[in-house]
Amino acid sequence: MYSKAKIAGRPIHPMLVGFPIALFTATIALQLAYIGTQDAFYFRAAMIANIAGVVMGLLAALPGAIDRWALPKQSRAKGLATQHALFSIITIALYGVSAVMLYLGWTNRVLVDGAYALDVRIPLAIDMIGFVSMASAGMLGWSLVQTHHIGIKPAHIREHRPSREPELDTNPLLVRSH
């Protein structure tokens, strides 16, 4: 099924989802770097990556929601898309809470013995849960593309090889009249 939200014929949602995935992963890596070095640079970089990931996740959600609402109501793909959306919302919410905690930690930092006393333990724990949620959303999103062909140009459907979504096989543009 073609994506409804596209630029120059290309689906927008898959173009954008790589950004929050990379930024959320970088958030965890930078928090671990901070734990290992106690260098405030890594704390601040984790905070910035986290905030940017939340913003990009929200931007990616808009075309994703448009594509989800365009799916046929009773299709298996719609159910999977709903699960994908829920895991994505959980991911953004968890990273959002972590971003607020990191921001408050940075703005309220205290200098102790020549170094900032910053704590990433709770934000890191929240982000690890968010990472599992993000991986779940990613697996469901991949299933939508790979199994249900959502967001991609459909191949020519032959009568002897119908898709797994029979309601998607009735595209009037593909039906030949004899």
pLDDT digits (tens, 9 = 90+) for 163-178: 555 555 555 555 555 4
Backbone angles phi, psi at 153, to 5 degrees: -65, 125
Helix (H, G, I), strand (E, B) or coil at 3: coil
Best CA proximity match to 129, nearest among 9, 20, 28: 28
Query: Which SS3 state, helix, strand or coil, does residue 112 take?
Result: strand
pLDDT the model gives residue 21: 98
Residue 61 to residues 34, 81, 161, Cα–Cα distance (Å): 30, 12, 33
Residue of 59, 65, 67, 32 lying closest to 46 (CA atoms): 32
pLDDT of res. 35: 95
Task: Concatenate the DSSP letters of all residues of 52-73 into one string.
Answer: HHHHHHHHHHHHHHHHHHTS-T
Low-confidence spans in the chain with pLDDT less than 70:
1-2, 152-178
Which two tokens mark 123?
């934000």
